[in-house]
Amino acid sequence: MRILLTGFEPFGGDSVNPSWLVAQHLAGVDLAGAQLQALQLPCVFGLSAQRLVQALAQHQPDVVVALGLAQGREGISIERVAINVDDARIPDNAGQQPIDTPVVPGGPAAYFSTLPIKRLAQGLQQAGHPVHISQTAGTFVCNHVFYALQHHLRGQHVMSGFVHLPALPEQAARAGRPTPPSMALADQVAAVQQLLQLCVASHDDDHAGDVRVSGGAIH
Ligand code: PCA
């Protein structure tokens, strides 16, 4: 069993991105016998998706989890859906700022995660990690990569999806004003490790399917 875990380089003036720190920590960790490959993606429209698609061809993973930072989110944020829109509020790391352009011209409006998102949320919650289902991955580079991932793997027997992580305490504090939510790196690592173990178990169970528990939102 092969797992590809991606994280992003820092962006938007930050000097670190927990998504890459977490992926780096987990590279080489034994996950119920699964082999884990960690990959850093540039926070750049286009190039990020190209690098990811290259890695998919090279590693032929059974499970792909892409990680990104979402400042302001509380806990582990398991994304439900990727949409076919790039609409950047800030420039990416190459200075590009697309507005309302498709990730894949002519592609479907959206793809769902093929991770068992409710099963993962339930498992993390039971283990005491802060976690929720998110109904939008935004319209910046994370959603772009998530959409490209799901588009590339459509119809294939690979479990793939996206998980946003909260800020690290030091990042949150930097903002001054009312301190946004944060989570210590060690806790993020432990939660993502558990999430990957749940993915492996679910995959071994021949894609056990998802559980029927609420993860909805009103706004
Ligand atoms: N977060 C950004 C892009 C890279 C990252 O870690 C996002 O949520 O789109």
Q: Known catalytic residue: 164?
A: yes
Query: Does 209 fall in a domain?
Result: no
Catalytic residue among 43, 164, 199, 203, which?
164
Give residue-wise pLDDT tens across range 123-180: 999 999 999 999 999 999 999 999 999 999 999 999 999 999 999 998 877 655 677 8
State the Cα–Cα distance between residues 133 and 98, nearest whole angstrom: 27
Residue nearest to atom 7 of ligand 1 (CA): 142
Query: Does 172 fall in a domain?
Result: yes
Kindly report the CATH number assigned to the domain that includes residue 16: 3.40.630.20
**Domains: count for the chain:** 1
Give residue-wise pLDDT tens across range 74-86: 999 999 999 999 9
- Kindly give the number of the ligand 1 atom that is closest to the alpha carbon of 143: 9
Q: Known catalytic residue: 142?
A: yes
Query: Does 49 fall in a domain?
Result: yes
What residues make up the domain containing 101?
2-204
Q: Using a 6 Å CB cutoff, which residues line ligand 1?
A: 8, 11, 17, 19, 43, 68-70, 138, 140-142
